[in-house]
A and B are shown apart, each in its own frame.
Chain A
Amino acid sequence: MSGEAELLKKRARLYAQPPACSDMPGGDLIAVFRIGGSRYGFGIKHVNCIKPLDRFAPLPCSPPFVYGVANLRGRICPLIDVKKVVEGEGIEGKARYMVVLEADGVKVGVPADEIVGIFPKPRELKSCDSEFVEGMSDDGTIVVNVESFLRSEAIIVSEEV
């Protein structure tokens, strides 16, 4: 119960963050999470929900970036380790949350360790050599282009025996 209270509290705080110091009024917001030792940001309009990662199962015979599958309101939702896909090194141990991302009808859960907050999307991003990363902010947050991430061939699993 206390875990839940903690979560709700966090979530409430997250939503309560004023879009302070926004140099772009009405500009895009990103939700930022700590995943392993990195920070990842996703455009808020693609964040469907954030849930504690309790009901999930690992998926055998799948590539390492597939963290497992989770029960999302009675539907099976794949969990994709975004850190593994981007950095080659995955999240360690059990993640506490799943961030459900949605774009073009594709729904994927991303395991995350901590909710950092909601911030305006930085204007200046250092470009990264990745098809689905928009870039990196000054504080090291990797801003993911959710649409191309979810559509990317890199996360497709299609294997025959």
Chain B
Amino acid sequence: MLEQLLEVFKSEAEEHIQRITQMMLQLEKGEAGEEALEELFREAHSLKGAARAVELERISETAHLIETIFSKIKSKELSLSDEIVELVYEGLDGIAQMLERGEEGFDLEGYASKVNGVLSGSSSEDAEERSITPSPKAEEPKPRPISERMMKVDVSKLDLLMERVGELVTLRVTVEERVKEAIRILRSFERIYRSIDCGLRDEFKEAISELRRFIFNLRADCFDISSLTKEIEEGVKSLRLQPVSFLFNSFDRMVRDLAKREGKKVRFEKAGMETELDRKILEELREPMAHLISNAIHHGIETPEERKKAGKPEEGVVKVAARSQGDKVLIEVEDDGRGIDLEKVRESALRSGIISREAAEEMGDEELLRLIFKQGVSTAEEVTEISGRGVGLNAVWDKVEKLKGSVAVENRPGKGCKFTLCLPMTIVTTKVLVVKVGGAMFGIPASFVERTLLVKPEEVRRLDGRTVILYEDKAIELVPLAWLLEMGEPEIEEEEFKAVIISSGSRSVGLAVDDLMREEEVVVQGFERPLLRVRNVLGAAISADGRIITVLNPGDLVRSALKRRPSFKGKPEKPEPKTILVVEDSVTTRTLERNILESFGYNVLVARDGAEAKEILQAVNCDLVVSDIQMPNVDGFELTAWIKNHPNLKHIPVILVTSLESEEDKKKGLEVGADAYIVKSGFDHEKLLETIKRLI
């Protein structure tokens, strides 16, 4: 609770500081009048009140000192001299420090005595007294009217929402794929229909058109979901957009301070302030932009004397501008200083050993200009506090590259220099689980990962050359990811290994991997022409350390695993999959049986009772029936009897499954013609599978 409150206070305090800075700068430039003083006083006062509310006494005290200065200026007991301005900034910096590092981070006593010194020197004696007595209650800040149109939202909530949207987008793609598959299945049914010539043609036709109606309705729903998802994605993206003014305004102080320190006259111009960018990008841009701006002032803009000599106005201009271009935003940092001295770049590059003398001499201007982004190249002759460390532009380049943007430079020797950063307006990140296989990194979208586990050799069962593990009562097929990705053998190690269970739709598969690395937030980039669609691969992402992570397609992986099983030794090519009809009234048992049988390569159809089973058997060719005994309408005995008396169906083997072992039932089952009778105790899959194999 308290922590949350402190977060709120912090952001409020930062706003106050920003506004005070803004107005101070306007006052200095003579762009604001008396009313600004009133506003300054109010801001300092609100800051003081807010700090006291969260019991940050030292911040409150500092704000109070600043407030006192403003009140003296208002009453004309003080004038806004350079000294006073510095004093206010010192206080603001102090508050910023305390916000950052805790209240001990600032010498309040020293500051107080400085302020009181100035105040008492001005005239008033009660200054000292005021600075320690808390202001009377009546002066407490009035709450600002809450805007009805706006509300503040915790950024982390937005980030979380964004993450979920990223997952939704991947899911959408999977669902679209699934519908395509359903249509493909429908087509094969239609083909079967055309080759049928028995008496069931009409019934089958009816069933197919029903299926067709269903699938096409499903597809229509899918389209709706797709467009909705897109709208939500756009909406969430736009929630995160902020005007660049947030960023640009934060440089005012820096420009002023730097120019002052270097004895230069600089006008800071800003344009395109309403241009919007994702707030994360804005945040990430702060550092590289600060670097470019301080470079412009430090290296670019000349001293007033130099400028005069060169026939330029004494005051130099540093301009930042933003504009959007499609889904990109261009940000320019431009100055009208001396431009980049390519000779110095050449020397510096030589000194740092990046290029040989021979190469340096052969290089053209363009080529040289590109060198400024290399580590160790700088035109600064000395190391200054903010720029000129020789790592600067290199860091700018890296940062912008990480944001999927690019940097361009335009150099006009003697006249100035312009850096243009081209950035995407928004970014969507997805959480992936990074796994290692055969020395390469692969990402699996985390929303498809059911769990990760360490598999011991005794937990692995081998059946029919396939490897399965039991997980939550399901037999899950286990395949080495290396083999699915066509990078290795289908062998599962005899030792302990790591596995990831992924699920897509209702089907799950276990993937054996070499190692589980970490979860990571990445921007998944889809491939472009000529890579229209790659099996099992969704796209790729660039990891925080610059490495490429190939992001896998979970839907494809599950399909591949169930389709392309490792062929086992000594057996010929697998024949066409057999179709099994599962008749069971309990949805849980039905689903369980279906999953197991499907995971062993059978085509599975399901019916809820004997009556439904009869309809299906007449419409579709089945190779075997697995039926429960107790069921509504038509029970297992009746169904078996019906099958065994049907002229076209009596050859189909029937397995009766029951949870109760009863000799009487068993006898009755065999009487009606059942081929096998299985008692499931805790559901013994192997018994069922063996029986099925024996019968078909």
Which B-chain residue is minimally distant from A152 (CB atoms)? Answer: B530
Contact partner of A59 among B354, B537, B542, B546, CB < 8 A? B537
Query: Which of B353, B367, B532, B535 is most buried by chain A, counting CB atoms within 10 A of its CB?
Result: B535
Q: Is the CB of A76 within 8 A of B355?
A: no
Stretch binding the partner chain, chosen from B128-136, B145-153, B188-196, B403-411: B403-411
A124 within 8 A of B: no
* Minimum Cβ distance to chain A for residue B289 (Å): 18
> Considering the complex of A and B, which 4 residue pairs feature the smallest CB-CB distances, nearest first?
A60-B485, A9-B359, A57-B548, A158-B532
On whether the beta carbons of B537 and A55 are closer than 8 Å, the reply is no
Nearest B residue to A54 via CB reads B546
Query: Does A21 touch B at the CB level, under 8 Å?
Result: no
CA distance A62 to B556 in the complex (A): 14
| Candidates B535, B540, B546; contact of A161 at CB < 8 Å | B535
- With an 8 A cutoff between CB atoms, is B79 at the interface? no
Residues of chain B lying within 8 A (CB to CB) of residue A59:
531, 534, 537, 550
Partner of B363, one of A12, A56, A58: A12
Stretch at the interface among A33-41, A64-72, A87-95, A130-138: A64-72
Q: In this assembly, does B560 line the interface, its C-beta being within 8 Å of a C-beta of chain A?
A: yes
Is A61 a contact partner of B530 (Cβ separation < 8 A)? no
CB proximity of B388 to chain A, nearest CB, Å = 21
10 contacts between A and B (CB under 8 A): A5-B359, A9-B362, A13-B362, A55-B547, A59-B537, A60-B537, A66-B531, A75-B404, A106-B528, A156-B530
Q: What string of 1s and 0s marks CB contacts (under 8 Å) between A141-161 and chain B? A: 000000000100001111111
> Taking the complex as formed, is A108 at the interface, i.e. its CB lies under 8 A from any CB of chain B?
yes
A80 interfacial contact with B, CB 8 Å: yes
Contacts of B560 in A (CB 8 A): 161
The residue on B at minimum CB distance from A16 is B362
What residues on B are CB-neighbors of A70 within 8 Å? 548
CB of B485 within 8 A of CB of A161, answer: no
Q: Are B550 and A78 in contact (CB under 8 A)?
A: no
List residues of chain A with CB under 8 Å of any chain B CB: 1, 4-5, 8-9, 11-13, 15-16, 55-62, 66, 69-71, 73-76, 78, 80, 106-108, 150, 155-161
- The interface residues of chain B lying within 8 Å CB-to-CB of A8 are 354-355, 359, 363, 367
Tally of A-B Cβ pairs under 8 angstroms: 120
- Whether, in the assembled complex, B123 has its beta carbon less than 8 Å from a beta carbon of chain A, the answer is no
- The answer to whether B530 touches A74, judged by C-beta atoms less than 8 angstroms apart, is no
Contacts of A74 in B (CB 8 A): 401-406, 542
Residues of the B chain whose Cβ atoms lie less than 8 Å from the Cβ of A11: 367
Question: How far does the Cβ of B363 sit from chain A's closest Cβ, in whole Å?
Answer: 5
Q: Which residues of B contact A9 (CB under 8 A)?
A: 355-356, 358-359, 362
* B362 with A73: CB separation less than 8 A: no
Chain B contacts to A: CB under 8 angstroms = 353-356, 358-359, 362-364, 367, 401-406, 440-441, 485-487, 525, 527-537, 539-542, 546-550, 556, 559-560, 563
CA A14 to CA B440, docked complex, whole Å: 34
Q: CA separation between A159 and B525, bound complex, in Å? A: 18
Residues of A within 8 A of B537 (CB): 59-62
Decide yes or no: A76 and B548 within 8 Å by CB, A9-B355, A60-B486, A71-B542 being known contacts.
yes
Asked if B548 contacts A55 (CB within 8 A), the reply is yes
CA–CA, A161 and B559, complex, Å: 7
* Residues in A whose Cβ lies below 8 Å from that of B547: 55, 57
CB distance from A102 to the nearest CB of B (A): 12
| 14 extra interface residue pairs, beta carbon distance < 8 Å, beyond A4-B354, A5-B355, A71-B548 | A1-B353, A9-B358, A16-B362, A56-B548, A59-B537, A59-B550, A61-B536, A69-B527, A74-B405, A76-B525, A107-B528, A156-B530, A157-B534, A161-B563
- Who on chain B is nearest to A78 by CB? B531
A28 to chain B, nearest CB (A): 21
Least CB distance, B376 to chain A, in whole angstroms: 9
Give chain B nearest CB distance to A46 CB in angstroms. Answer: 15
